Amino acid sequence: MGSFIVEGRNSLEGIVDIGGSKNAALPILASTVIVGREYILENIPEIEDVKDMFEILTTMGCSVQYDNGVAIIDTRGLNTHIVPERIVRKIRSSIILMGAVLNRTGKVEVAYPGGCEIGLRPIDLHLKGLKKLGVEINEKNGLLVGEVKDPVACEIHLDYPSVGATENIMLFAVGNTGRTIIYNSAREPEIVDLQNFLNTCGFCVNGAGTGIITIEGKELKNTDTVEYKIISDRIEAGTFLSAAASMKSKIYIRNIEKSHFKSITSIYEDAGCEIRETHGTIVITNNKRIKAVEKITTRPYPGFPTDMQAQFMASMAVADGISIIEETVFDSRFKHVPELQKMGANITTIGRVAVVEGVERLHSAEVEAKDLRGGAALVIAAMGAEGVSTINNTHHIKRGYEKFIYKLQNLGVIITETSDT
């Protein structure tokens, strides 16, 4: 599964260019199957989850060419409604193909998705929304089997602003004649990006980012080539910000919209980091040990993102004072805690709450990445620790970070990779 060898240091300095958003690219890639045509997509990150999505598309008859961040996808050859089970079980966002394939073919077979093991991530809101739009869904031999029976446009009230459910409903409803309104929809920038892409394709979606999305469903006749550029990854930017906060640093983060990760920057400003924007570049300066932030609670956007909880914990592990971190989005998302404790972190957990008492410096250890963001947190911890640390199971990290080692090396980090033999 691979390992990173990280030599601890006292400072970071340099420039990091943020890649395309993982959480925007995957639903947009899934949505290309709705209309058979050619798509030219820019700023697609070179990460394992994207490679898995490419494999799903090609297995289903589509063609994919990828080079230097640009994907050319032709979905006219889609020849099945069955989403390949082997790949689906590797990637969580594959469930978004359900709405897109139903839109195109009227039926779908898909396995329950895989991805990170960070607790229960039920898809009941996905299924409830699709059923309300006229899809009959049953479980057969461990697969979800869906068929469009009586398609209708309607109002859907989500019990929770689920990103995945919002996306799945959008991808089906755009081709479902009539007006569908999603109340309490997810508000993430990635949802806005999906709306913008769908509108570029010729659909009519409004309200993304407000909590109420209105979709005027229609059948598209136009099959001209669509060109679109994906937004950059706010969680990747936040991860490098967390690294900079963990030690003396001055780094420049380029290719990111600051407003997309305001909830992250504001927390680190409270911790004592100087963060400013100049000519489209975010500059983070930290000359001293950061202060502990009294409490943060993960929430749907625009709240503090659950995808930054582990990285934030790694930086608070060396902060001056005590921090309380409450995880409200997912259960079982503290799997990185025992690994940080191996490095000397003083962390106590009670249910979904972690109490972090900062120490002056962590020490090296051999640790294991349990999931994507927890793995990134261990790299952050190792970078500032005394000695040389080994982080195993780094395939998790590669799922969501593009050229991670290269970017860290550009900031002065001494990090190498070993492969399993």
SS3 of residue 217 by DSSP:
strand
CB neighbourhood size of 360 (10 A): 8
**CA separation for the pair 163, 4 (Å, rounded):** 31
β-pair type (70-74, 38-42): antiparallel
Identify the burial level of 149 via C-beta atoms within 10 angstroms of its C-beta, where 0-12 means exposed, 13-18 middle and 19 or more buried: exposed
Q: What separation in angstroms does the CA of 202 have from each of 25, 63, 207, 227?
A: 19, 22, 16, 12
Is 116 catalytic? The answer is: yes
Catalytic-role residue among 116, 154, 201, 204: 116
**CA separation for the pair 421, 414 (Å, rounded):** 23
Residue in this structure with the two tokens 């033999």, named with its chain if needed: 421
**CA separation for the pair 413, 402 (Å, rounded):** 16
What region does 141 belong to: left with phi over 0, alpha with psi -120 to 50, or beta? left
Question: 157: which strand partners?
Answer: 183
SS3 of residue 31 by DSSP:
helix
Question: Is-cis flag, bond preceding 302, omega within 30?
Answer: yes
Question: Are 42 and 24 spatial neighbours (Cβ–Cβ below 8 Å)?
Answer: no
- Residues classed as catalytic: 116
